[in-house]
């Protein structure tokens, strides 16, 4: 593990396995430091874990419908590892690889080289994830990738947080605002149909602050399909290469902690930890239960290779992929 500590004593720990975040220790409104990133007690538990806790999935985060992929006129069949669809790059994915590590002042650089044909994706791809931890409690993640042949890529970090403490229990009472007025309608297996629907007047609406779980039991297809939120939203005001500030803001009235996420990514996946039960033991000596953490994954749209109307996730030689995510932690 690599530990990055700032001048106030707040710190993050990072792992070469999946270039993962294993803790984010920040103060509450009283100044008490506590980890808010869901984490396992045993470092070995991160290998092949179902929740993909805190790691960078790839080559393609989220779903590709039926594992069907066409790149540069050639069809590829990817593994079907989530119902009838391909998820997070396949059974192994980037999240279960040990990345090369290089520390530098205030940060760490993880590098992974994915061979042509790995998980049946085309092209030799080099991926770099750089984390930086600032004195004002901002965790920055810049992800870049290059390839020697046309391929697809979609990178994010699958961090789960509970602003009252990583092992404090149900997180559905925390308050969320999203800069997203449209969401991506899915089939019952959570793969996009291609329709971007307005959130207004539906339980999908977080354009005004509300409790994460306020509408989670609503009689609404998307919430029934996923047993809660496991849905992609289009980021309002997104333009390629532009950092959109405060795409998501999560707040706890109990601890006073606030997490504001800014990003260059066109979309976000909101996942309310609907299937955390049975995960490996956490530092409290128990498994997490469903809804004990919230994941807000800034990313490209799922199944974009099969939906030309979505922002493209095609990666070409000579045209590097570059995306940034910034997690800012404050109190209120």
Residue 83 · residue 323 · CB < 8 Å: no
pLDDT band at 86 (very low <50, low <70, confident <90, very high): very high
Average pLDDT, the chain: 97
Average pLDDT over residues 102-109: 96
What pLDDT does 149 receive? Answer: 98
CB atoms within 10 A of CB 258: 18
Active-site annotation holds for 297: yes
Beta 107-114 vs 321-331: how paired, if at all? unpaired
pLDDT tens-digit series, residues 261-293: 999 999 999 999 999 999 999 999 999 999 999
Q: Where are the domains of the chain?
A: 2-173+270-331
What pLDDT does 323 receive? Answer: 98
Euclidean distance between CA atoms 287 and 61, whole angstroms: 25
Q: What is the three-class DSSP state of 169?
A: coil
Give me the catalytic one of 86, 283, 297, 307: 297
Helix locations, the chain, DSSP H? 221-226
pLDDT tens-digit series, residues 209-246: 999 999 999 999 999 999 999 999 999 999 999 999 99
What pLDDT does 128 receive? Answer: 98
* Residues 6 or more apart whose Cβ sits within 8 Å of residue 226: 190, 274
Euclidean distance between CA atoms 13 and 15, whole angstroms: 7
Euclidean distance between CA atoms 175 and 189, whole angstroms: 27
pLDDT band at 98 (very low <50, low <70, confident <90, very high): very high
Domain 2-173+270-331: assigned CATH number: 2.70.98.10
* Phi, psi (degrees; rounded to nearest 5) at 91: -60, -35
Residues in the chain, total: 332
Short-list 133, 177, 131, 166, CA closest to 18: 131
Give percent of the chain above pLDDT 70.
Answer: 100
**CA angle (93, 94, 99) in 5-degree steps:** 145
Give me the catalytic one of 30, 102, 158, 289: 158
Residue 331: both structure tokens together: 């109190």
Residue 45: both structure tokens together: 């538990």
pLDDT tens-digit series, residues 186-201: 999 999 999 999 999 9
Active-site annotation holds for 158: yes
* Residues 6 or more apart whose Cβ sits within 8 Å of residue 186: 192, 193, 222, 225, 231, 232
Short-list 144, 133, 137, CA closest to 108: 133
* Residues 6 or more apart whose Cβ sits within 8 Å of residue 221: 188
Euclidean distance between CA atoms 139 and 329, whole angstroms: 8
Residue 127 · residue 109 · CB < 8 Å: no
> Residue 187 forms beta bridges with which residues?
none
What pLDDT does 14 receive? Answer: 98
pLDDT band at 34 (very low <50, low <70, confident <90, very high): very high
152, HSE (Cβ side, Cα atoms, 13 Å):
33
């Amino acid at each position: 593990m690599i530990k990055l500590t700032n001048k106030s004593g707040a710190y993050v720990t990072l792992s070469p396995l999946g270039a993962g975040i294993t803790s984010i220790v920040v103060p509450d409104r009283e100044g008490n430091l506590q980890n808010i990133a869901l984490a396992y007690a045993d470092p070995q538990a991160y290998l092949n874990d179902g929740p993909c806790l805190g790691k960078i999935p790839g080559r393609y985060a989220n779903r590709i419908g039926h594992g069907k992929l066409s790149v540069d006129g050639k069809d590829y069949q990817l593994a079907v590892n989530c119902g009838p669809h391909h998820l997070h790059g396949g059974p192994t994915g980037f999240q279960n690889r040990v990345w090369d590590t290089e520390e530098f002042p205030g940060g760490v650089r993880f590098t992974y080289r994915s061979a042509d044909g790995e998980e049946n994706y085309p092209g030799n791809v080099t991926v770099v994830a750089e984390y930086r931890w600032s004195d004002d409690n901002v965790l920055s993640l810049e992800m870049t990738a290059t390839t020697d042949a046309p391929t697809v890529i979609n990178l994010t970090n699958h961090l789960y947080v509970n602003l009252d403490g990583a092992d404090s229990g149900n997180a559905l009472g925390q308050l969320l605002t999203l800069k997203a007025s449209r969401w991506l309608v899915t089939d019952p297996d959570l793969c996009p149909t291609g329709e971007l629907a307005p959130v207004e007047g539906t339980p999908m609406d977080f354009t005004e602050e509300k409790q994460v779980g306020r509408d989670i039991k609503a009689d609404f297809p998307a919430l029934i399909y996923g047993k809660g939120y496991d849905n992609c939203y289009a980021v309002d005001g997104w333009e390629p290469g532009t950092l959109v500030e405060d795409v998501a803001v999560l707040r706890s009235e109990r601890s006073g902690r606030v997490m504001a996420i800014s990003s260059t990514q066109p979309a976000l996946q909101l996942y309310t930890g609907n299937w955390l039960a049975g995960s490996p033991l956490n530092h409290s000596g128990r498994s997490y239960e469903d809804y004990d953490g919230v994941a807000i994954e800034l990313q490209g749209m799922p199944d974009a290779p099969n939906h030309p109307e979505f922002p493209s996730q095609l990666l070409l030689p000579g045209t590097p992929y570059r995306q940034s995510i910034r997690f800012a932690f404050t109190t209120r």
